[in-house]
Amino acid sequence: MSDEEDEYFCYICAKPETNVTRLIECVQCNKYAHFRCKKLFGNAVTRAKSKPFFCSVDCSQMSSHNIRQTTTNDDIIHELQVLGNAVKGVKHDSEKFRLLFEDTRMQIADIVSTSKQIEKSQVFLTHQFDQLTADFKSFKEEVGSVKAENSKIRKELKMWQDTCGDLVGSVDRLEVDMDNINRSAKAKNAVILGLPAMQDEDTVELVCMLCKLLNCEFVGTSVIQCARRINGKQHMNGVPPIVVQFTSEREKEELFRRKRAYGVVLASKVRDVFNGSTHTITIRDEMTAYGRDLLQQAKNLQETLKIKYVWPGRDGKILLRRQDGGKIEQISSKLQLAGLQPTNSKRVLNLSGISPPNVPQSKRM
């Protein structure tokens, strides 16, 4: 039997073979042959392995001759065959172990490669973590600085708000004082609403007719300096109001007293040509620009504050009534209007949009 570096040679095809399980050995001359070269396949291979194999007739005859002449060596031959089969099994197992070792070696190489990659990843992650730690420390320092700055800004803002509140109060008082001055210039003026307009009308004569109906003592044109229509976009029931300037405040106040004593005055009672008119006559002070603005802001808040009635009063005041039969509230400044609370509410309504118009928007409270 030839054995060079675990290679066997088939005596038929003369090719080397490292896998002994593909070969069958002659028990006489120890030559090897491929099962395929001997045309043995499937079950034929199993049967060939189960009995002694002879590569040729000569080996078979020689073996028979030796058996007949050396019957005393049968046990030795049998032991040798068993030993040969054991060697074949050892070689077969050795091949299996070699392949298993090779596979294990490759797996170990993969594990080593993976471990190196994990180690590199750990180094990278450690670096990133150190960087994040440094960034976080820097961020905490910045946050602390921002908190300190924010606290400083809050204090400054509180001081600014206090100052701004004082400024708003001062501006509100100044506007009220200016409004008092402007109203004093209009103290002799009254506005009459509800008298229908006619072509080529004499407004002074029309006012005198109203004064006569109300039984005013000063009936006559001598106490009326002028009377003119206000042709604005907004006027009562489509009828332009009339602004009347009296010679003194006394005549105007008498007109107001007589009107209150008379009660409801219909336009049809003033002049026959107004028969069929359903307009009622209303008399009020001529409003200043501040008063008109205050009235408009009160009307804008009417729904929010749940106020049912809003109308102009005397001396530049705005009158409010939240419901029928309710108490009449007087508003004389925009700051006072801003402090109103909605009906059935215990908190102050945020009416920041009602600051005086002369204060810049950024400083309104």
Query: Do the Cβ atoms of 248 and 188 come closer than 8 Å?
Result: yes
Given this model, what pLDDT does residue 71 score? 54
Spatial separation of the C-alpha atoms in residues 326 and 225, rounded to whole Å: 39
Report whether pLDDT(361) > 70: no
Report, as an integer, the average pLDDT of 259-263: 93
> Cα–Cα distances in Å, from 360 out to 5, 162, 168, 364, 365?
104, 16, 10, 7, 10
pLDDT in tens, 25-71: 998 898 899 989 988 888 888 888 888 888 888 888 787 766 655 55
Of the listed ranges 158-172, 248-262, 337-351, the one predicted with least confidence: 337-351
**Burial, 327: exposed, middle or buried (Cβ in 10 Å; 0-12, 13-18, 19+)?**
exposed
Spatial separation of the C-alpha atoms in residues 348 and 340, rounded to whole Å: 7
pLDDT band for position 297 (cuts 50, 70, 90): very high
Report whether pLDDT(261) > 90: yes
- Side chain identity at residue 149, one-letter code: E
Report, as an integer, the average pLDDT of 12-31: 88
Given this model, what pLDDT does residue 66 score? 66
- Side chain identity at residue 272, one-letter code: D
Given this model, what pLDDT does residue 353 score? 41
Given this model, what pLDDT does residue 190 score? 93
The residue ranking higher by pLDDT, 1 or 12, is: 12
Query: Do the Cβ atoms of 313 and 282 come closer than 8 Å?
Result: no
CB atoms closer than 10 angstroms to residue 296: 12
- From 245, 156, 144, select the one nearest 192 (Cα to Cα): 245
Spatial separation of the C-alpha atoms in residues 264 and 255, rounded to whole Å: 14
> Cα–Cα distances in Å, from 152 out to 141, 146, 166, 365?
17, 10, 21, 21
Percent of the chain with pLDDT over 90: 30
**In the block, which residue shows the tokens 């004064």?**
211
Report whether pLDDT(245) > 90: yes
pLDDT band for position 318 (cuts 50, 70, 90): very high
CB atoms closer than 10 angstroms to residue 270: 24
Task: Take residue 6 and report the two structure tokens written for it.
Answer: 């675990």
Supply φ then ψ for residue 17, to 5 degrees.
Answer: -145, 125
Report whether pLDDT(364) > 60: no
Report whether pLDDT(351) > 70: no
CA-atom Rg of the chain in angstroms:
61
pLDDT band for position 355 (cuts 50, 70, 90): very low
Report, as an integer, the average pLDDT of 296-308: 91
- From 288, 285, 287, 206, select the one nearest 239 (Cα to Cα): 206
Given this model, what pLDDT does residue 192 score? 93
pLDDT in tens, 195-243: 998 888 899 999 999 999 999 888 777 889 999 998 865 554 568 999 9
Report, as an integer, the average pLDDT of 324-352: 75
Q: Which residues pair with 319 in a beta bridge?
A: 311, 330
Helix (H) or strand (E) holding 189: strand 189-193
pLDDT in tens, 58-110: 888 787 766 655 555 566 777 788 888 888 888 888 888 888 888 888 889 88
Q: Which residues contact 276 (CB under 8 A, 6 or more apart)?
A: 268
> Cα–Cα distances in Å, from 167 out to 73, 178, 289, 292?
134, 16, 22, 23
- Side chain identity at residue 26, one-letter code: C
The secondary structure of 204-238 as a DSSP string is: HHHHHHHHHHTT-TT-SGGGEEEEEE---S--GGG
Given this model, what pLDDT does residue 222 score? 85
